[in-house]
Amino acid sequence: MTERWDGLVVGASLATLDASDGYAEIPDGALGWRDGMLCFVGPRSELPDAPEALADDVIEAEGWITPGLVDCHTHLVFAGDRAREFELRLQGATYEEIARAGGGIVSTVRAVREADENGLLAQSLPRARALLRDGVTTVEIKSGYGLNFDSERRMLRVARRIGQQLGLRVSTTYLGAHALPPEFAGRADDYVDAVVEWLPRLHDEGLVDAVDAFCEGIGFSPAQTRRVFEAARALGLPVKLHADQLSDLGGAALVAEFGGLSADHVEHTSPEGVRAMAACGAVAVLLPGAFHVLRETKLPPLDAFREHRVPMAVATDCNPGTSPLLSLRQAMQLACTHFRLTPAEALRGATVHGAQALGLPDRGVLRAGLRADFAIWRVQHPAELCYWLGGDLASAVFAGGVRLA
C-alpha cells in the first residue's frame, strides 16, 4: 500500500509557475504533500485514488494556489522608526542630505544599539508576521543597523529567532558594510577592516547565509566592496549587492565578477552591467517600494534585463527609512505600476526569481519534489494579487506542509 500523504488540497486552481513564463495554470487542481515536500501537483481528475484514501488531511478549497511568496530583500530587524525623515523628504530634503546630516541609516543604528535582543525581537516580529499573513513563506533579513560586532550579531540572532518562532525560512545576510558608523568617521578603510574581521566570527556561529554591501557614493566604494566580497569568498559565502541605486559605480558588474546571487535596486545599471549579470546568472532584484517612497524617476533597465534574460525578482526592501513596506503583494503591485511588469512577471519575481536570488532551488514553484510552501488565495485570477491595493487575500499559508496562517 502506498504511504499516505500528510495533506491534500483539492478544488482550487493552481498557478504552478512551472514554466519559463506565464502562470502555468491547472484548473480544479490538487496539491499533495508528505514530510514537508510536494508529492502531487496536477489536476484533481488525475489523482491516483479518492482524496480521503490518499491523505490524512483533505482540504476543499476555492480560489487559487500559488507557491509561497519569497521576499528576497528586507531589513525588517530594526528599532524605532524614521517617520520624521519621511516628512523632511516631503518638504524637499534628499536622501543624501538627510544621511549627511546624521539621519538615515545612522539614526536607526543608534536605536538598534540601544535595544537589547528581546526588545529588538519584540519590535521586529510584527513586521515578519505581517509578511507571513500576506503569503510570504521565505524571507531574507539583513543586518547593517548595528555597525559594531555586538549589535550586528544581535540583529542576526534576532533574524534566526524570527524564523524559529514563526516557522518561516529566514535567510540571513551580513550587511556590515551598510554605512559608516560615527566612531569611524573619516576612516572608511579602517571600518572595512573591522567588517572583514567580524565576518568569520559571525559565520562560525552559524549566523550568516550571504554577504551584502552598500556600494554607493554615500556608502562604500567598489574597492572597499571588493574587500568585503573577497572575505566572503574565502569562507565560501555567496554575495549580493545594493548596486547602482543612486549612481552607476559598476556594482552589477562587480557582483557578476564574484558570481553573486543578485544585484539589488539597479536603477542606474549600465548595459555592460546587464550583460555581465546575464553571463553569470545573477538576479536583478527590483525594489519598487524604495523607488516609490523616494519618488525616484530613473527606471531600472527593464527592457535590457528582458532582452538578456536576466531574471527579475521583486522584494519589499522593508526598512524604516526608504521602504516601510509590510506587504510583498504591495511590492508586486508597485512593480507593475512603476516598472510596468506584467502581473505574471511580478508573481514570478516574488516566487521563482526571489528563490533564485537567495540560492534556494527547492522552492518558488509548485512541483513534486520541492518544498510544500504555498498560499491559498481568495481570488478569481492570479492577476488580482497585483490588482488589489492591500486587502486580506490569503486564506491560508503553508510552509513545509505546516499551516502558518
Q: What is the chain's pLDDT, residue by residue, as a tens digit (405 residues)? A: 468 999 999 999 999 999 999 999 999 999 999 999 999 999 999 999 999 999 989 999 999 999 999 999 999 999 999 988 888 888 998 877 887 777 788 889 999 999 999 999 999 999 999 999 999 999 999 999 999 999 999 999 999 999 999 999 999 999 999 999 999 999 999 999 999 999 999 999 999 999 999 999 999 999 999 999 999 999 999 999 999 999 999 999 999 999 999 999 999 999 999 999 999 999 999 999 999 998 999 999 999 999 999 999 999 999 999 999 999 999 999 999 999 999 999 999 999 999 999 999 999 999 999 999 999 999 999 999 999 998 999 999 999 999 999
Residue ranges of the annotated binding site for N-formimidoyl-L-glutamate are 145, 319, 321
**Phi, psi at 97, each rounded to 5°:** -65, -45
Q: What is the crossing angle of helices 222-234 and 188-204, to 10°?
A: 20
Biggest alpha carbon–alpha carbon distance for the chain: 71
The helix or strand, by DSSP H or E, that contains position 375, with its residue range, turns out to be: strand 374-377
- C-alpha 206/C-alpha 333 separation (Å) is 35
Would the CA dihedral through 203, 273, 293, 181 be positive or negative? positive
Q: Would you mind telling me the total number of residues written for the chain in this entry?
A: 405
DSSP state of 141: E
Residue ranges of the annotated binding site for Fe(3+) are 73, 75, 242, 317
Residue ranges of the annotated binding site for 4-imidazolone-5-propanoate are 82, 145, 178, 245, 322
Which residues make beta-bridge pairs with 211? 174, 239
- Calculate the alpha carbon distances from 29 to 40, 240, 326 in Å: 10, 37, 30
- C-alpha 127/C-alpha 402 separation (Å) is 20
pLDDT per residue as tens digits for the range 46-97: 999 999 999 989 999 999 999 999 999 999 999 999 988 888 888 998 877 8
Which of helix, strand or coil describes residue 315? coil
> Looking at the whole model, is its pTM more than 0.95?
yes
Q: Work out the angle at residue 389's Cα, subtended by the Cα atoms of residues 385 and 393, and round it to the nearest 5 degrees.
A: 45
Measure CA 112 to chain center: 21
Q: Smallest Cα–Cα separation from 300: which of 322, 279, 284? A: 284
- C-alpha 234/C-alpha 211 separation (Å) is 12
Res 98: pLDDT: 82
- Calculate the alpha carbon distances from 326 to 127, 172, 232, 331, 395 in Å: 6, 18, 30, 9, 18
The H-assigned helical ranges of 242-364 are: 251-257, 271-280, 288-293, 302-307, 328-339, 343-349, 352-357
Residue ranges of the annotated binding site are 73, 75, 82, 145, 178, 242, 245, 317, 319, 321-322
Would the CA dihedral through 374, 376, 379, 385 be positive or negative? negative
- C-alpha 124/C-alpha 78 separation (Å) is 6
Are 40 and 51 a contacting pair, CB within 8 Å?
A: no
Residue ranges of the annotated binding site for Zn(2+) are 73, 75, 242, 317
Are 71 and 138 a contacting pair, CB within 8 Å?
A: yes
Which residues make beta-bridge pairs with 397? 375
